[in-house]
Structure 1
Amino acid sequence: MLSLSADPAKSLTQKIADHFHTLISDGKLQSGMKVPSIRSFAESHGVSVSTVVDAYDRLVADGSLVPRQNSGFFVRSFQHASYLNQEAVAKEGTSFDSLWMLNRIWQSHSAEINPGCGWLPARWLDEEGLRRTLRNLTLHSTGSLASYGAPKGYLPLRWKISDCLNQHEIYCPPEQVLMTSGAAHALSLLIHHLIKPGDTVFVDSPGYSLLFAHLKRIGVNLVGVPLTSTGADLDALAELLAKHEPKAYFTNPRLHNPTGISCSPATAHKILQLAVKHDFLIIEDDVCADIDAAVRRPLASLDQLERVIYVGSFSKTISPSLRVGYIAAHPDLIEDLAQLKMAMGLTSSEIGERIVYQVLVDGRHRKHLKGLGAQLAQAQCTARQKLGEAGMVMFNQAPEGLFVWARHPHYEDSRALSSRALDKDIYLAPGHLFMHDEECTPWLRFNVGYCDSNALFEFLAAA
């Protein structure tokens, strides 16, 4: 007889699935073992056959069980011990690169203390509001949930995005908005359409590591633009433009990842002037717009999408698992990108887009964003104070956004500090991951939402 969780928030189906997960992870159900049939399990535990069917379906979907025709259900071969050994080996002599970031730092279970991750804590998100939206969508949806979506994405959501962009002084009809499967998908579409092997591309350095990996993979000449506390270093940018002819400049001017800086109005205007003079496009990655408490104009508002291409996302504030983003751009470019999107993978997820739309029109979301801003402000102040007390030196003094870019005074290469941290089950994000050329640097990125462990600051102070 199974001993099920007493958690009232979980369905009986989930409790059954969770117990099988426990039996498998504890080794009580070994690889290849047959589990009770659906009918047998239902009878012996006094539950309905349909409940067991749903539970077994979940276990098959997550890879725990394997169905065999006319034979029943069997535990999948996980080779659990060797997996654990691989995890242990990964900590010894770890190679900190973009692949490491994908395989380690982005896994929620990869460390007890994870200040190097790139997302908000789940407890800060409005999970109850999301659950309510999901229930309402399934109960009251007027359209089909099983059909393909429109090539450009769910029209009501594009209208809503158009309204939101208008509030940021980007006057853009829904026809100029293309829905994507997150910001990374948006950047991928733009790279495929705009950039060819051998093109010169400017990027923030430090900047978004996965963008660098994507651009390098297609063989571009990648040039890093240094940053100051007010955005791109304009003197350095002018010098680089005297040497290179970039096709585009990918930049993250608001609450920058990883430094946390924001571009000043004067810097923004100068970047646009240089773009016109030297004839290059600007791809503005503005995924943190919704968590910015300050009133700041996006670059795209200064030229109304003539030369600037705007990328947004809802993953930061609603749910990372939804993967809903968008591109706002000149109408001709949007038409081309819509065709490319269909050719590469058909439509984006209309279910996800409907969920986002319902969340946005729900009156609670504005309140949630306000509360989120207050949490971030408090976390920034606390993290900066504790990092300073631990001896860390910070890149800028503006307590805004999700990240703090800081260095330890005793380490010229943050990889060495990150390697020592692994021994304490602390995953840091060493700065070279965010450099376009992966150059050695003393800087590290800290996520203030995960800087709540005394063990982290004790380690930094003693290092």
Structure 2
Amino acid sequence: MILFEPDRRRKAAPTLVDQTVAALEDAISARVLRPGMALPSIREFARNHGLSTFTVMAAYNRLVARGLLQSRPGANFRVSQRKQASPAPVPEWVAPRIGASWLLADVFADHSISIKAGCGWLPPDWHDTAGLPQALRQLSRIPISQMASYGHPLGYRPLREHIANRLLEHGLDVGPDQILLTHGATQALDIVVRTLLRPGDHVAVEAPCYANLLQILALNRITVHAIPRTAEGIHEATLDDLARRHPIRAMFVTTVLQNPTGASFTMAGAFRLLQLAERHAFLVVEDDMSRDLLPEPAPMLAALAGPSRVLYVSGFSKSVTPSIRVGYLACAKPLADPCARTKMSLGLTSSEVMERAVHHVLRDGRHGTYLRGIRERLRRAHDQVAASMRAHGFEIWGEPGAGLFLWARPTSPRLAGDGMIELAARALKAGIWLAPGSYFDPDGKETGWLRFNVAYSDDPRLWRFFQQTSAQ
């Protein structure tokens, strides 16, 4: 029995094992190989198809693992006798109930929303199609003995060395032992909070603010004070007054392409914040996730003040892919050690496999070209989405022309009248995800604003929804 003709082109074709598995799966699906039927012996199948016995053995074993074949010692491989489950009926789609829990958890598993205008990541088809697959292939060649341990508490050292060199280009001089790799930048923020703060401590955050940070602070029972975000940075007078009245331990800020407003600090705004931190002796925690998406240089607080005053947090979900959960914390050595202990207490080491993959991507000569392409696509998306906003009567809070986000609010009474939570609930019924400003407000109050991800918001159906809703 000849099931297929192997394609032996080395670069273009799948491996011979993959081809053999696919051919057998097709034969089982088409009932050429029926339940209970014995397959040819490994030697016979190999001889008939011009394959090695090792290739056929690997393919047969893979199909056993998938439950398509059965194997008994001393007997031939046979097609499994399992009954085919009848397809489950497809339920009618019901819009999820909007709320903070949906935004922070359920939305990541909810693939029913077709227009994700409020999400916080790049579309899957925008991501690097060369660097990451090559990195994963490279990982498959590493002997398992080199990755059979938990790894170093600080993370994969070659990646920490690479990060240290990259930070030095921005003026931040830290060694690899001052860099702690984490399971995403959000875990780095959580580690900072758990290590340096105690329940009841006072901190300042931007308003609006990264939503997950607010949840971290609430879970740790930290007292949070809101400081308005401005076009140049933060409202220094409000922070100065707050620090005179309360023992502020830390200020959490996003320097570049802030989530959700898209704003970036000016150099003057950065210096004024650091002067206040020095005057009132509080730490600054700098969340710098989106710097790779900014075309031009921008101030880095940690480089200006040093790691003793500023703890620097970043990661690779924006510049590589969100599924590669690798972030990092750069700080003074006396802080790095206790933060590493907190990391180990929470979940032991981070994933060296993912850290190796990121290291390979960053060293690949194509990553810089990929980032330049992403920046240009985002610039065009900003222009298009801002034009749609103006055409539909939205007020835009700054136009950064870079990064993922625009912060805007509708001026139409029919859109704005019942508040953004209600508007978002109506949008969900139309298969549209909006992100109301209350999710990003330290007090959770209605603000009238929405966060738009420009990479997802250049969709005629989104603006048709606003037009139709405004006309109702």
53 and 173 in structure 1: CA distance in 2 versus 1, 3 angstrom threshold: same
318 and 417 in structure 1: CA distance in 2 versus 1, 3 angstrom threshold: same
CA contact (8 A) 2:164 2:175 kept: yes
* Among candidates 114, 118, 123, match of residue 112 of structure 1: 114
Query: Tell me, which stretches of 5 or more residues in structure 2 are unaligned?
Result: 1-12, 43-48, 50-54, 69-79
Work out the CA distance in 1 between the residues paired with 2:267 and 2:35. Answer: 66
Pairwise mapping of residues 268-347 of structure 1 onto structure 2 (< 5 A)?
Answer: 268-347=270-349
77 and 149 in structure 1: CA distance in 2 versus 1, 3 angstrom threshold: farther
Identity percentage of aligned residues: 36
1:462 counterpart = 2:462: no
CA contact (8 A) 2:315 2:328 kept: yes
Work out the CA distance in 2 between the residues paired with 1:345 and 1:112. Answer: 34
In the alignment, residue 329 of structure 1 is paired with which amino acid?
A: C
In the alignment, residue 407 of structure 1 is paired with which amino acid?
A: R
TM-score (norm 1): 0.83
Q: How far does the alpha carbon of each residue in 1:207-263 deviate from its partner, in whole angstroms, 9 at most, with x for none?
A: 111111121112121111111122211222223223322111111121000000001
* Among candidates 439, 442, 449, match of residue 436 of structure 1: 442
Q: How far does the alpha carbon of each residue in 1:33-77 deviate from its partner, in whole angstroms, 9 at most, with x for none?
A: xx968978999xx996744654675799xxxxxxxxxx9978999
The 3-state SS of whatever aligns with 1:249 is strand
CA contact (8 A) 1:407 1:442 kept: yes
In the alignment, residue 370 of structure 1 is paired with which amino acid?
A: R
Aligned residues: 425
Work out the CA distance in 2 between the residues paired with 1:433 and 1:406. Answer: 14
CA RMSD of aligned residues (A): 3.3
CA contact (8 A) 1:430 1:443 kept: yes
Pairwise mapping of residues 376-387 of structure 1 onto structure 2 (< 5 A)?
Answer: 376-387=378-389
CA contact (8 A) 1:38 1:52 kept: no
378 and 190 in structure 1: CA distance in 2 versus 1, 3 angstrom threshold: same
Q: Where does residue 225 of structure 1 map in the other structure?
A: 227
The 3-state SS of whatever aligns with 1:320 is coil
Work out the CA distance in 2 between the residues paired with 1:407 and 1:301. Answer: 35
CA contact (8 A) 1:38 1:53 kept: no
Q: CA deviation at 1:397?
A: 2.5
Work out the CA distance in 1 between the residues paired with 2:322 and 2:274. Answer: 31
Work out the CA distance in 1 between the residues paired with 2:224 and 2:396. Answer: 27
Q: Where does residue 187 of structure 1 map in the other structure?
A: 189
Q: How far does the alpha carbon of each residue in 1:278-324 deviate from its partner, in whole angstroms, 9 at most, with x for none?
A: 11111100011111112112110111111100001011111111101
Q: Where does residue 3 of structure 2 map in the other structure?
A: none
CA contact (8 A) 2:21 2:60 kept: no
Q: CA deviation at 1:126?
A: 0.7
The 3-state SS of whatever aligns with 2:224 is strand
CA contact (8 A) 1:186 1:326 kept: yes
CA contact (8 A) 1:39 1:49 kept: no
1:396 counterpart = 2:423: no
Work out the CA distance in 1 between the residues paired with 2:123 and 2:319. Answer: 10
Query: Tell me, which stretches of 5 or more residues in structure 1 are unaligned?
Result: 1-7, 23-34, 61-70
Q: Where does residue 350 of structure 2 map in the other structure?
A: 348
CA contact (8 A) 2:189 2:213 kept: yes
* Among candidates 254, 259, 262, match of residue 260 of structure 1: 262
CA contact (8 A) 1:391 1:461 kept: no
Q: How far does the alpha carbon of each residue in 1:358-401 deviate from its partner, in whole angstroms, 9 at most, with x for none?
A: 11111111111111111111111111111211221101132221
CA contact (8 A) 1:105 1:427 kept: no
Work out the CA distance in 1 between the residues paired with 2:86 and 2:201. Answer: 46
Q: Where does residue 66 of structure 1 map in the other structure?
A: none
Work out the CA distance in 2 between the residues paired with 1:387 and 1:36. Answer: 59
Work out the CA distance in 2 between the residues paired with 1:349 and 1:451. Answer: 33
1:248 counterpart = 2:250: yes
The 3-state SS of whatever aligns with 1:393 is strand
Q: How far does the alpha carbon of each residue in 1:168-203 deviate from its partner, in whole angstroms, 9 at most, with x for none?
A: 110111111111111011111111101111111211
Q: How far does the alpha carbon of each residue in 1:59-111 deviate from its partner, in whole angstroms, 9 at most, with x for none?
A: 99xxxxxxxxxx99789999x77x957x62x54xx3422x1103443346130
Q: CA deviation at 1:114?
A: 0.9
The 3-state SS of whatever aligns with 1:247 is strand
CA contact (8 A) 1:42 1:48 kept: no
The 3-state SS of whatever aligns with 1:100 is helix
The 3-state SS of whatever aligns with 1:110 is coil
